[in-house]
Amino acid sequence: MLLGRYKKFLLILSMVLFSASVFAVDTSALVKKQLTAAEDAMDEDDVETAYKKVNGALQMINEETTPSLKSAVVSEAKLIYQQKLERILADYDGAALSDVKVMLEKYPDVKNTKIEKLLGQIDEEQKIAAENQRKAELAASEEAAQRRHNEEQQSIKQQTQALEKQNEAISKQNAAMEKQAETQAELAESMKSQAEELAKSNENSEKNLKAIQEGFAGMQDSMSDQAEALKESSKNQAKSTKIMVFAIIGIALLILIIVLVVIVIARRNMKLQEQRQEQYMQAFRLIAENTGNTNRIMLGGATDLYGQGAPLRLAGSSTWAPAQALPDVTFTPEDEEELKQLAVKCEEIGTKIDQVTNRKNNSKNVSELVYKLSMQLGLSQGNSMLNFCAAMIYDAGFLGVDPELWSADTLTDEQKEEMHNHVNIAEKYLDFVPKKYWEVFDDASKKHHENMDGSGYPNGLKGDEIPQIARLIRVAETYVAMSSRRNYRQAMDKETAIEKLREQPDFYDTAVVDVLDQIV
């Protein structure tokens, strides 16, 4: 009996342990699923969705979660929280800010220097906004009080003026009443005189009426004569009206004919103009089609290639004087046009290199960063453009490496040596480069793995022995690699990547790293 209970206990314990292991696996799978959804949302610039997904991943992390997975979630959360706070800084949302603060209290590992700085900026701006609102409300209150005071003063003034006018009106009314009494007395006397005059007037009216009756009889005879004359005048006027109507109709017909002729001529001219415009457009399209291919150059973020914008400031390091870049080349307008065509060719080869190495947009990103570093370090426009072209194809030697090596999980020592040898075989892919630019392209392709302490390859160069273009590419390539997402790790944020470069002065030129920190 006891043995049976013991077997049941072991069976239940086994089932519990199995369920716990399944739950742990499922939890890790859910964490990865949420992390992947957050990364996809960030790629589509959907910060809100990415924020929700990465919070879901953080909530599901437990003691069974592997450190690498937890680190990946926290790293992605830092990037997403930073983007979230930058949007709140641009367009303040109190509820969203409160939610972020609550989540940061819950997951303190997500907080970094950049996030704390953004939180401080948001709080400072809100303090300033609150203070400005308080001042505005105070000013509005004072303005309202002043306005009420002015209105009260104006009302008192109006009432005083009304009282003055009322007193003045009463005074005038009293004077008028006195004058009216005098006038009534005068009126009574006047009415008496008028009655006497009216009696005399009646007598005169009777005499005038008789005279009018006699004059009216004579007027009737005169009106008869005028009626006859008016009838004759009407007949003459009717004839004149008919003549005028015919003249107006003739003039109207003439004007109508002229208008029709003008319309026909105008429509004809418009049709000719449309035909000519269409011919011009066809000619323009042909010219655009013929010249479009030769003028195309895609330089991504490296705009203002020939000095159209504001100049960048010169770095302090004397080893980066512009004269050391390419002293024997003077960039004429013809050279600039040649560099444009060279950039197009380099872009084509750079695209092939990225396809072979499975590094999306690596050549474009590295070359643009090298261009910006060159300008910020004080190199000339032409030398910066030349560095841009060379950095586009610095890994041209990879085109000669066995393609199967890129899909291998691990490499043997011989395969690693073949990969390192790409710097020695790059020159056979650079035969299109003009001779006067060859040195820069050769240095870029052969020496971009040299380290400042001499531990790099293939020649073990150190310090100023390493050409400028190689030092620029060494820093730019590493930064782009660290800030890009790879299958085996998450992308670093900008601050972490810069800090990693600073921690290795034996590998990277510190002057270049300092300038990189300024421009990214």
Q: Output the CA–CA distances (angstroms, integers) from residue 266 to 122, 252, 271, 276, 419, in the order listed.
A: 65, 21, 9, 15, 76
Q: Which residues contact 194 (CB under 8 A, 6 or more apart)?
A: none
* Chain segment 316-343, per-residue pLDDT in tens: 333 554 434 444 456 788 888 888 999 9
What percentage of residues in the chain have a pLDDT greater than 90? 37
* Chain segment 406-459, per-residue pLDDT in tens: 888 899 999 999 999 999 999 999 999 999 999 999 999 999 999 999 999 999
* Chain segment 60-116, per-residue pLDDT in tens: 888 888 998 888 989 889 899 999 899 898 899 889 999 999 999 988 988 899 898
What is the pLDDT averaged over residues 128-145?
A: 89
What percentage of residues in the chain have a pLDDT greater than 70? 73
CB 397 within 8 A of CB 424: yes
Q: What is the distance between the alpha carbons of residues 171 and 169, in angstroms, rounded to a whole number? A: 5
Tokens 């040195």 -> residue: 439
Task: Using alpha carbons, select from 288, 382, 376 the residue that is nearest to residue 342.
Answer: 382
The DSSP annotation for 462-480 comes to BGGGS-HHHHHHHHHHHHH
State residue 486 phi and psi, 5-degree precision.
-120, 165
* Chain segment 260-316, per-residue pLDDT in tens: 876 777 677 566 555 544 543 443 333 333 333 333 333 433 333 333 333 333 333
Lowest mean pLDDT among 218-222, 286-290, 379-383, 400-404: 286-290
State residue 462 phi and psi, 5-degree precision.
-140, 155
The DSSP annotation for 383-411 comes to HHHHHHHHHHTTTGGGGGS-GGGGG-SS-
pLDDT for residue 379 is more than 60: yes
Measured from the Cβ of residue 315, the count of other Cβ atoms closer than 10 Å reads 19
Q: What is the distance between the alpha carbons of residues 476 and 384, in angstroms, rounded to a whole number? A: 14
Token pair of 272, please?
A: 């000719």
pLDDT for residue 222 is more than 80: no
State residue 453 phi and psi, 5-degree precision.
-95, 5
Angle formed by the axes of helices 468-482 and 494-502, to 10°?
140
Tokens 């609102």 -> residue: 133
The DSSP annotation for 335-358 comes to HHHHHHHHHHHHHHHHHHHHHHHT
